[in-house]
Structure 1
Amino acid sequence: MRSAETAVDLSGGNLTLVIIVAVIALVALAMAVVFRKQVLAAGEGTTNMQNIGQAVQEGASAYLARQFRTLAVFAVIAFALLFVLPAESGSIRIGRSIFFAVGAGFSAAIGYLGMSLAVRANVRVAAAAQTEGRDPAMRIAFRTGGVVGMATVGLGLLGAATVVLIYKGDAPAVLEGFGFGAALLAMFMRVGGGIFTKAADVGADLVGKVEQNIPEDDPRNAATIADNVGDNVGDCAGMAADLFESYAVTLVAALILGKVAFGDQGLVFPLIIPAIGALTAIMGIYLCRPKPTESGLTTINRAFYISAAVSAVVCAVAAFIYLPTASKDLDNAGSGGGLLGRLLPSAGSTDFNPALIGALAVLIGIVLAAVILYITGYYTGTEHKPVQDVGRTSLTGAATVVLSGIAVGLESAVYTALVIGAAVFGAFLLGGASVTVSLFAVALAGCGLLTTVGVIVAMDTFGPVSDNAQGIAEMSGDVDVHGAAILTELDAVGNTTKAITKGIAIATAVLAATALFGSFTDAITNATLDLKGLDQAAGDLSANEQLGLLGVLNIADPANLVGLLIGAAVVFLFSGLAISAVGRAAGAVVFEVRRQFRDIPGIMEGTGRPEYGKVVDICTRDSLRELATPGLLAILAPIAVGFGLGPGPLGAYLAGAIGAGTLMAVFLANSGGAWDNAKKLVEDGVHGGKGSPAHEATIIGDTVGDPFKDTAGPAINPLLKVMNLVSLLIAAAVVKMTYGDDANTALRIAIALVATAIIVAAVMISKRRSVVIGEDPEPHPASHDATGHITRVD
């Protein structure tokens, strides 16, 4: 697989195309600047609105600054470790580490950009709803998302195109670092931001709406500012970074496999597809112009479907123009047969139609995005039966709301997983007998999904901006009934668009993880062949070496079955850690908000001012200290399995994680979305409306769903890619230490034991942090408030 026949030296037309892609990336970034100016040109509203918006802006900026300082430690360690891992040359090792820093920096920049504009746009949306009406308010919110969407596709394309221009045929190895940096930062930002936002949200709801019976964004609630800050650091910064790393990692996987499958065309075509998507995304953002008689969700969906359809047509045309119609016409293509073709020559036929494969694979990805949009919208939208049924169960209490929401999430996970599985398998079949081409087709399906990312990011950012605008309007008291109704409608639309983007992000994660899994097996193959010499026939490999390659998913091998189970278990543990972290932080917020209602005179009468900053500090402190454990689990678990059990079990580990992660992520996201919109239904007057027992029941359901849909569920996406990339990076070292002539079993087991010990210690430390609500059987004066509740145990 790695031999002279796969060498790539871009020249002529291919080099020109990569330069054009880089120019399109710059055009996307320029459009982000244009959209930003349009957003900032809108009116900022009243003085009260501006003061509240300023407080949210200061809190969000302070949090991200502290978060980036914390993450810098992990980034520096990872940067250094990449130098240690094997590489084909010193320049690749250096480039991999440098572009790790670039990927991490781009991911952080996207997150910060998403937050910094959102905290300025929310007051403008609130002001527009009051003075100009629904359409201008909606346009401002969607253009805010358009800025982040254009920045996402622009930086993603620019980073990948730059690596290809500099390193040419060696670009895939360097891009591993770029993708790893993006995924690592995104995972930390998703977890940290998710813990912050949901701790504030849950605490605000439980004390304000349930105990004090005051509105969600009532300024008397000390957690309201923290809640609005959380929307920006979690839903804007975290999700923007998440979608960027999905973009980057999918490109990385496609370029790695494309080089082997299609040669230089395979290194260029995966860049052409998202470049087309960048242009159609600009069109989609401009198409989002509401009609007076249609809902906001219909407007957004129409813009998405039109841009997706145009992308499908243009990408198909590009495939037939650029790619040949016969495999023999590929430039510098590899054997295409992959490992299967080496060991079973009769199954290694390389006759295929590259243009047709490229066009159909991209079409599969685009259709997948549209189907996921429909399924997620059906299970989380207020106009559909699942959410209406969840709302109806509120008549019998919180328990039935929770049960019905769990049922919706479980059911939707099955159908979503089947659709994703069908897309993966359909793309895989396009390669025929060639395993490498089949996996490249899966990666191209992911690239097809990328063509929609610009609009998808705009849809996602639209949600928290609308939510914040409604909160600012309610806190300021400067918006009349008509303006409030507009903001309520936009908030409900935003809840659905956020759920939809989570579904598409999950699909992107699965496609990227599957393609990375193919890259992982290719890396294992190359590393094993290196032990015998690059020109050694694969048929000369020993039985043990073949087991390490072909036995990756052979669960008849007990070691592989153990690896599979560990992979699935890590997803559950990761989710549990994230949800527990939200519970601990939310408990601290609950106690603080209760204390302020009790100890600060005049809060309920409106004469006393809550101490908003203390709640922001609690959320910041708790979210940042909870970052380490999930991060260490994601990075060290593959190391423990790979060095401890070998390459076969490591592959099975990844398979278990992908399977469990897909179902878990969809379940968590859609359950939370259904609970959230069921609450919105009741608040709109159904089943008794605000303040009714049904409303209180849906609030409980929503607080359960908050860490599901906005912390644990979305964080699984970067988790899968981080684990795949770590496995890809360590593959050669694992093979060498397991099967090489100088295999060092003692060192290999020692590495695995150290990694395991660090994970165990981190989990135990995490478990020692707890917030207990209830009576303490052994009272301690320092741990109780005036009512006898335990305030905190550290």
Structure 2
Amino acid sequence: MLELGATSLIIVGTIAGIAVVSLAIAVVLRRQVLAADEGTPRMREIAGAIQEGAQAYLRRQFRTLGIFAVVVFGLLFLLPADPEIKLGRAIAFLFGAGFSAAIGYLGMSLAVKANVRVASAATRSGGRAEGARIAFRTGGVVGMSVVGLGLLGAAGVVLIYRGEAPAVLEGFGFGAALLAMFMRVGGGIFTKAADVGADLVGKVEQGIPEDDPRNAATIADNVGDNVGDCAGMAADLFESYAVMLVASLILGKAAMGEQGLILPLIVTAIGALVAVLGVFITRVRGNESGLTAINRGFYISALVGVLLAAIAAFIYLPGTFGAIPGISEDLAGHGGDPRLIVSAAVVVGVVLAGVILWLTGYFTGTTSKPTLHVASTSRTGAATVVLSGIGVGFQSAVYTAGIIAAAICGVFLIAGGNIWLALFLIALAGCGLLTTVGVIVAMDTFGPVSDNAQGIAEMSGDVDEEGAQVLTDLDAVGNTTKAITKGIAIATAVLAATALFGSYADAVAIALGEIAEAGTQMADGVVGAMVTYEIISPITLVGVILGGATVFLFSGLAIDAVTRAAGAIVFEVRRQFREFPGIMTGQTRPDYARVVDICTKDSLRELATPGLLAAFAPIAVGFGLGVGPLAGFLAGAIGAGVLMAVFLANAGGAWDNAKKIVEDGHYGGKGSEAHAAVVIGDTVGDPFKDTAGPAINPLLKVMNLVSLLIAPAVVQMSVPADTNHAVRIGIALVAAAIALGAVWASRRRAGKIDTAEEIDNTIATESNPPEPHATTAPGEAVESATERVERR
């Protein structure tokens, strides 16, 4: 067991203190946001309705996910490990899941209070700068909380478990990743079902604006922005932070002993200082674009992060690898300077973030050629808009994947070809990228807050034309920042998955070593092939194919779930317009509560299937085919996952901003045939960029962490013994049955609602809300939805 010296313990204790200070700064920033003016009574009324719906949904979602957390907590005790490690890993799992849920709730709860303040700022002089400041500092609160809770969890485990901390932290990362995936999928289904339904009926069929209060789906749409983009993305970035720390600590301990264990914590702690700097220096100057200010703040913060990380490396590490206590034998003779090598890896991570920021902005920005091209195709109809957006998505995936691959190759070259050092440096590059996580989270939250602010302004009617243009500009910036942060999140996911891939190999090597020490011989033939890593092995290639197929199936399930839920919303909004003509004249208020209720019910019902697939597919492959094919499975998932995630995110972002271009007056502007075409493109892109695409990030890490956790058991059961093989095959069959059963249940639900009449009947029998009437306020309507959600 690795023992930590007094200096290391002091450093870790200091890092825990930095985590607490980060949380304190988050409290200060929160007070600054809440001190801003809340706007007119009508604005506050609409904002209150959004708050009620978002809180009702998350409370119900957390109760549902609590069941999963308890089940997984028990299952972790079945995995082979020392009793103390088992208990610590299970408890760490609960903390990881709890922190992920807390970050998601915090992101949502503050965003639904900040949106009305941004809308109010637009009514005053200097509204652009003030609105951008409020929106960005709202994200700053979440960013500082991500840094604070991530560091606190990791440092706390290291202080308690010392050298055994990496094994315990596997549970912490798994809890964070599992909750984030469920929140991503559930929130994504909710937000895009409402968004698609509102756009198709409101904009295309009725010809009314996006956030017109006559559209029954508007409140649900704004609720969805918060439970999907704020809560889901905040949890996603937190789990990226936590999982990257887990992988880097595991690999650091294996490669460089005590100093390798502590170094990643130092690099990520620097991220807390960078986050504070980024939040406070990001200010809009005069009439400049909010995106210009955000990019400036990001690049300055990134540069400072690189310099601080290099200084820390030169202070903490010796000048040669041989002088590092506990260094692995194959690294002891490495001729490079570890200080320079570590600094270079951090630089690669930060540069990767900056390049992806620029590249994603290029493919999705409102002034870039690809998005302008998509907008121009609106002149020939919806089909060409969809085709051009798909083309942009495919091309952007190639460039982004190439940049990530180049970064990994660069780190490999820096490591001098040493595999284990290269894997550790990839993890450090990810930590370097995440030194900017506080700014990245702030950029992401900026998007839904500004989007909601525009919706509140439009529904209230209390903002003049100049103020409306300010909010439109901020919303367009928010669309780009959301796309950018999705790109950075994808890069982080790939680096984390690659590092976890190395951690998985380390776990397998340790398990095989223990079997060899016990004198047990592995079998030849089929059983022997189960533990080989040779890519030329047919059974390993089967694993690669299954890994890629899982990504496609997961994406298809997520998009299909949005399609079903959106269909129900379309029919409900149509029904209200048809049965209550007074809605269009303003005499009758739509029943917002009914749409919120449908979105809540459908999203919670649908989120289990993708989650069960992610958790049980690697178990089926691992126990059924062995650790070698499971390694191929992970490789296939990483390769297909990065391409699919970038394609979905950037195609959706291009369609969204192409719609903004037309709505700004190009090609006929709002109400034209071109506008109808780009709205169709945007609705196709909604589940791409906000449901399936972002959910692939936690999917990759959940599958890698499940594989990491089960690897010792798979190796043990690969020992030639008939009883072991029978149990192993039984576990594989049960896992496969659970995963495929969940998929079958999802398809069975789809078959039940394939006709309009059945959708109408389902809504009428399950929702059963009161009829809309002229005196029902939005807040009252959503409150009734809250009560119905709580009852369910």
TM-score (norm 2): 0.94
Report how far residue 285 of structure 1 moved.
Answer: 0.7
Match in the other structure for 2:387 = 403
**SS of alignment partner, residue 551 of structure 1:** coil
Match in the other structure for 2:770 = none
The answer to whether the 8 Å contact 2:177/2:240 transfers is yes
The answer to whether the 8 Å contact 2:527/2:718 transfers is no
Report how far residue 433 of structure 1 moved.
Answer: 4.4
Report how far residue 544 of structure 1 moved.
Answer: 6.7
Q: Render the CA deviation track for 1:276-313: whole Å, top value 9, x for unaligned.
A: 11101111111111111421100000000000001111
Instruction: Quote the RMSD (CA, aligned, Å).
Output: 2.0
Q: Distance in 1 between matches of 2:657 and 2:17?
A: 42
Question: Measured at CA, do residues 93 and 775 of structure 1 come closer, stay the same or move farther in structure 2, by a change above 3 Å?
Answer: closer
Match in the other structure for 2:263 = 269
Question: Measured at CA, do residues 38 and 752 of structure 1 come closer, stay the same or move farther in structure 2, by a change above 3 Å?
Answer: same
Report how far residue 542 of structure 1 moved.
Answer: 7.1
Question: Measured at CA, do residues 217 and 79 of structure 1 come closer, stay the same or move farther in structure 2, by a change above 3 Å?
Answer: same
Match in the other structure for 1:342 = none
The counterpart of 2:407, out of the listed 410, 423, 437, is 423
**SS of alignment partner, residue 290 of structure 1:** coil
Report how far residue 783 of structure 1 moved.
Answer: 7.7
Match in the other structure for 2:782 = none
Match in the other structure for 2:629 = 649
Opposite residue 691 of structure 1, the aligned amino acid is: G
The answer to whether the 8 Å contact 1:584/1:769 transfers is no
589-598 or 291-300: bigger deviation = 291-300
Opposite residue 100 of structure 1, the aligned amino acid is: F
Question: Measured at CA, do residues 782 and 135 of structure 1 come closer, stay the same or move farther in structure 2, by a change above 3 Å?
Answer: closer
Q: Distance in 2 between matches of 1:739 and 1:215?
A: 65
Report how far residue 27 of structure 1 moved.
Answer: 1.3
Q: Distance in 2 between matches of 1:268 and 1:740?
A: 39
Opposite residue 43 of structure 1, the aligned amino acid is: D
Question: Measured at CA, do residues 587 and 105 of structure 1 come closer, stay the same or move farther in structure 2, by a change above 3 Å?
Answer: same
Q: Distance in 2 between matches of 1:782 and 1:493?
A: 41
Match in the other structure for 1:91 = 84
Match in the other structure for 2:97 = 104
Match in the other structure for 1:243 = 237
Match in the other structure for 1:584 = 564
Report how far residue 131 of structure 1 moved.
Answer: 2.0
Q: Distance in 2 between matches of 1:309 and 1:45?
A: 38
625-634 or 124-133: bigger deviation = 124-133
The counterpart of 2:316, out of the listed 313, 322, 325, is 322
Q: Distance in 2 between matches of 1:388 and 1:135?
A: 27
Q: Render the CA deviation track for 1:688-720: whole Å, top value 9, x for unaligned.
A: 110010000000000000000000000000000
Aligned positions of 1:371-770 closer than 5 A: 371-533=355-517, 551-552=532-533, 554-739=534-719, 744-770=724-750
Report how far residue 8 of structure 1 moved.
Answer: 2.3
| 1:55 equivalent in alignment to 2:49 | yes
Q: Render the CA deviation track for 1:490-547: whole Å, top value 9, x for unaligned.
A: 000000000000000000000000000000011111111111118x8x9x97767996
Question: Measured at CA, do residues 263 and 127 of structure 1 come closer, stay the same or move farther in structure 2, by a change above 3 Å?
Answer: same
Question: Measured at CA, do residues 748 and 610 of structure 1 come closer, stay the same or move farther in structure 2, by a change above 3 Å?
Answer: same
Q: Distance in 2 between matches of 1:177 and 1:774?
A: 41
Opposite residue 551 of structure 1, the aligned amino acid is: T
Q: Distance in 2 between matches of 1:593 and 1:505?
A: 34
39-48 or 123-132: bigger deviation = 123-132
The counterpart of 1:288, out of the listed 269, 282, 287, is 282
Opposite residue 408 of structure 1, the aligned amino acid is: V
Opposite residue 105 of structure 1, the aligned amino acid is: G
Q: Distance in 2 between matches of 1:336 and 1:603?
A: 74
Match in the other structure for 1:3 = none
Report how far residue 752 of structure 1 moved.
Answer: 0.8
Opposite residue 514 of structure 1, the aligned amino acid is: T
Q: Render the CA deviation track for 1:189-216: whole Å, top value 9, x for unaligned.
A: 0000000000000000000000000000
Match in the other structure for 1:179 = 173
Match in the other structure for 1:118 = 111
Q: Distance in 2 between matches of 1:147 and 1:545?
A: 54
The answer to whether the 8 Å contact 2:96/2:176 transfers is yes
380-389 or 316-325: bigger deviation = 316-325
Report % sequence identity: 68
372-381 or 421-430: bigger deviation = 421-430
Report how far residue 241 of structure 1 moved.
Answer: 0.2
**SS of alignment partner, residue 583 of structure 2:** coil
Report how far residue 321 of structure 1 moved.
Answer: 1.2
Report how far residue 680 of structure 1 moved.
Answer: 0.3
433-442 or 385-394: bigger deviation = 433-442
The counterpart of 1:257, out of the listed 213, 238, 251, is 251
Q: Distance in 1 between matches of 2:576 and 2:26?
A: 42
Q: Distance in 2 between matches of 1:452 and 1:83?
A: 36
The counterpart of 1:304, out of the listed 293, 298, 301, is 298
**SS of alignment partner, residue 499 of structure 1:** helix
Q: Distance in 2 between matches of 1:259 and 1:779?
A: 58
Q: Distance in 1 between matches of 2:419 and 2:432?
A: 20
Q: Distance in 2 between matches of 1:9 and 1:643?
A: 34
Question: Measured at CA, do residues 358 and 784 of structure 1 come closer, stay the same or move farther in structure 2, by a change above 3 Å?
Answer: closer
- Which residues of structure 1 form unaligned runs of 5+? 1-6, 338-347, 786-794
Q: Distance in 2 between matches of 1:555 and 1:254?
A: 25
| 1:15 equivalent in alignment to 2:21 | no
Question: Measured at CA, do residues 742 and 550 of structure 1 come closer, stay the same or move farther in structure 2, by a change above 3 Å?
Answer: closer
Match in the other structure for 1:4 = none
Report how far residue 431 of structure 1 moved.
Answer: 2.3
**SS of alignment partner, residue 214 of structure 1:** coil
The counterpart of 2:73, out of the listed 71, 79, 82, is 79
The counterpart of 2:35, out of the listed 22, 41, 46, is 41
Report how far residue 760 of structure 1 moved.
Answer: 1.6
The answer to whether the 8 Å contact 1:548/1:647 transfers is no
Q: Render the CA deviation track for 1:88-132: whole Å, top value 9, x for unaligned.
A: x21111000000000000000000000000000000000011124
Q: Distance in 2 between matches of 1:545 and 1:580?
A: 38
**SS of alignment partner, residue 196 of structure 1:** helix
Aligned positions of 1:65-76 closer than 5 A: 65-76=59-70
TM-score (norm 1): 0.94
**SS of alignment partner, residue 131 of structure 1:** coil
Report how far residue 743 of structure 1 moved.
Answer: 6.0
Question: Measured at CA, do residues 388 and 349 of structure 1 come closer, stay the same or move farther in structure 2, by a change above 3 Å?
Answer: same
Aligned positions of 1:343-362 closer than 5 A: 350-362=334-346
Question: Measured at CA, do residues 475 and 327 of structure 1 come closer, stay the same or move farther in structure 2, by a change above 3 Å?
Answer: same
The answer to whether the 8 Å contact 1:547/1:648 transfers is no
Count residues in correspondence.
763
Q: Distance in 2 between matches of 1:350 and 1:276?
A: 27
Question: Measured at CA, do residues 774 and 252 of structure 1 come closer, stay the same or move farther in structure 2, by a change above 3 Å?
Answer: closer
**SS of alignment partner, residue 532 of structure 2:** helix
The answer to whether the 8 Å contact 2:393/2:650 transfers is yes
Report how far residue 773 of structure 1 moved.
Answer: 9.1
Opposite residue 95 of structure 1, the aligned amino acid is: G
Aligned positions of 1:145-156 closer than 5 A: 145-156=139-150
354-363 or 171-180: bigger deviation = 354-363
Report how far residue 429 of structure 1 moved.
Answer: 2.6
The answer to whether the 8 Å contact 1:336/1:436 transfers is no
Q: Distance in 1 between matches of 2:276 and 2:6?
A: 29
